[in-house]
Amino acid sequence: TATEEIKKGLAGVVVDYTAVSKVNPETNSLLYRGYPVQDLAANKSFEEVALLLWNGELPTPSELTEFSAFERANRALDPRVKAAIDLLPTDCHPMDVGRTAVSVIGANHPQAENSSPEAELLKAKELFAAFPAVVAYDQRRRRGQEPVAPREDLDYSANFLWMTFGEEAAPEVVDAFRVSMVLYAEHSFNASTFTARVITSTLSDLHSAVTGAIGALKGPLHGGANEAVMHTFNEIGIDKEESREDAAKRAKSWMEDALAAKKKVMGFGHRVYKHGDSRVPTMKAALDRMIEHYGRHEMLGLYDGLEAAMDEAKAIKPNLDYPAGPTYHLMGFDTEMFTPIFIAARITGWTSHIFEQRAANALIRPLSAYNGVEQRSL
């Protein structure tokens, strides 16, 4: 019967080809356009990785110079976007702000309905450049602060932190932020990317596809997990004075209780990786550098305690959101801002998939097996 063929959650179903990235859970590897993600995170700027994802090749020096200049010239918060954000309550979820901002940017775009490859690439680059100011402004307004203008002398990551906090971040902090952006950039047919591809498959526009993707990313089973990890840390309680060992003990017993209560603990597990997320070692190393930089070893205790207890009880490994959450916390972001940072990174992957979907499109329209009441008379 048709019902026997149903794969709930499309688990294990191969939906289409992609040349953007390759996830191999067996070898625990993730390649962007053929390059291992950990090598890109070690050696390349986020701007270079964005160009790699869009174009299929790393940029030449002159291509990079040209794009850097473009990115720096397109960072300012559009007054129309600011006006729209100002209509939203400061206690709404920041993902709602990000979703609204992309929608407003799309509605005001002079080429909104032009889906030629050139127009789409330009829109993707503009969105890449413009989105950090949305996150930065939203973080600031929640703290009753005025927006901070971008600085053209800073690269993408340094400027993101500058616009958010109004002070120059230390080079180690900028670097950890860059690493997180590279790791969050792309991950094949995850829920939000698939959403973007479904929307594109109807021949809708790029900003609609990204807006929909943001809706999918918001949920805690997907991008919202980085925020949820921090809620767990906060629930356990962060005490800056506590030793690493004591923090680990408390975290361990919290996890044991959570698992006994059959709770799903966010930041652990993955639909594709069953032996560990390929991105975690690189992000964990960045978190370690931040823990060292800020002198916050109790955070490492909480991290290790939860991980060890989960491993012992269920052998479930952390995913990228697990080290990313506490990293953003140490940098000074409010917990609710973590997933909007993920948007800024994933704009690169989403738009690369939008281009790919458009270039070889077929309307995505699956079937369902009806299990409601049989036909009846009025």
Query: Which of 45, 35, 112, 18 lies closest to 352 in space, CA to CA?
Result: 18
Residue 99 interacting with ligand CMC (CB under 6 A): no
Q: Which is nearer to ligand CMC, 46 or 189 (CB)?
A: 189
Considering only the stretches 47-55, 122-130, 239-247, 263-271, report the one whose residues sit in contact with ligand CMC under the rule CB under 6 A: 263-271
Would you say 282 and 37 are in contact if contact means Cβ atoms under 8 Å apart?
A: yes
Identified binder of ligand CMC from the candidate list 41, 286, 287, 320, rule CB under 6 A: 320
Residue 222 interacting with ligand CMC (CB under 6 A): yes
> Three-state DSSP class for 36?
strand
Residue 268 interacting with ligand CMC (CB under 6 A): yes
Long-range CB pairs of 121-126 (<8 Å, 24+ gap) are: 121/54, 121/355, 123/206, 123/207, 123/351, 124/54, 124/206, 124/347, 124/348, 124/351, 124/352, 124/354, 124/355, 125/54, 125/67, 125/70, 125/71, 125/74, 126/74
The rounded distance, in Å, linking the Cα atoms of 115 and 202 is 12
Active-site residue, 91 included: no
Identified binder of ligand CMC from the candidate list 22, 80, 240, 264, rule CB under 6 A: 264
Q: Which is nearer to ligand CMC, 65 or 234 (CB)?
A: 234
The rounded distance, in Å, linking the Cα atoms of 185 and 82 is 25
Residue 364 interacting with ligand CMC (CB under 6 A): no
Active-site residue, 288 included: no
- Look up residue 295 and give its two tokens: 């002198």
Q: Give the helix, strand, coil percentages of the chain, each rounded to 5.
A: 60, 5, 35
Residue 223 interacting with ligand CMC (CB under 6 A): yes
Which of 222, 277, 329, 353 does the annotation list as catalytic?
A: 222
Identified binder of ligand CMC from the candidate list 173, 198, 225, 347, rule CB under 6 A: 225
Give the footprint of ligand CMC on residues 287-316 (CB under 6 A).
314, 316
Which ranges of 44-166 does DSSP label H, i.e. alpha helix?
46-55, 61-73, 79-86, 94-107, 117-142, 156-165
Query: Which of 191, 180, 249, 179 lies closest to 217 in space, CA to CA?
Result: 191
Identified binder of ligand CMC from the candidate list 103, 139, 190, 201, rule CB under 6 A: 190
Which of 270, 277, 329, 353 does the annotation list as catalytic?
A: 270
The rounded distance, in Å, linking the Cα atoms of 349 and 345 is 8
- Look up residue 41 and give its two tokens: 């995170």
Identified binder of ligand CMC from the candidate list 266, 286, 290, 306, rule CB under 6 A: 266
Which of 138, 205, 277, 321 does the annotation list as catalytic?
A: 321
Residue 49 interacting with ligand CMC (CB under 6 A): no
Residue 218 interacting with ligand CMC (CB under 6 A): no
Active-site residue, 297 included: no
Q: Which is nearer to ligand CMC, 10 or 238 (CB)?
A: 10
What's the min distance (Å) between Cβ of 268 and ligand CMC?
4
The residue number whose beta carbon is nearest to ligand CMC equals 269
| Contacts with ligand CMC, residue ranges (CB under 6 A) | 190, 221-223, 225, 264-271, 314, 316, 319-321
Enzyme catalytic residues: 222, 270, 321
